[in-house]
Chain A
């Protein structure tokens, strides 16, 4: 079945550094990938929609200069958390679908801890 690989699964970084998270669709081409953030005891919050070959569309309240998204190919999207701060610590999840009629498949998520 369709697999979305997200790497790394866990990362600890110091405040002020940048962290890159990769999301790959392994056996299908994903024109669109989505990035989510999960807060404790809350549902997933959509951060941005990543479209291959174009700029990402950010949801209201999400800083595009802080959360840089690059969708360089049909199988890879990256989220870079720039100048990370402790409040950026969270669980980040990506998802992708092969087409509009297919369910979204999720990566296993990345637990980011900023110290």
Chain B
């Protein structure tokens, strides 16, 4: 059973427009959520996170929105740039029995920003 779902495997937008990447989750015990960006043949890099007690976090062109009642979060990129083209992973954090973190990832959404 997939706890973190990114239902859109790909998204294509024009440069300068808004990119909206969506993510749904099923486990109400997740305590924070993260977005990672991954270029081909590289490891994912942390982009932005949001605690479960907030509904919005903004960092430059990137804003993450969290709707706990709907168990939904989204990443907005405004304005989109060609260099934003990558695979974006949504991740949710839960604690293992030992108290350490465990990330649960979605399958990723490939964003293509066209010049």
Chain A residues within 8 Å of B, Cβ to Cβ: 6, 31-32, 34, 41-44, 46, 49, 51, 57, 91, 93, 95, 97, 100, 103-109, 111
Contacts and interface: CB of A to CB of B under 8 A. Distances in A.
A104 B43 contact: no
Given A49-B100, A100-B99, A106 B105 contact: no
11 contacts: A42-B107, A43-B105, A46-B102, A49-B98, A57-B96, A95-B103, A100-B95, A104-B34, A106-B36, A109-B43, A111-B41
Counting chain B CB atoms within 10 Å of each CB, which of A6, A46, A49, A106 scores highest? A106
Nearest to B97: A57
A6 B106 CA distance: 23
Contacts of B96: 49, 57
B23 to A, nearest CB: 12
B57 interface: no
A43 B41 CA distance: 14
Interface string B36-49: 10000111111001
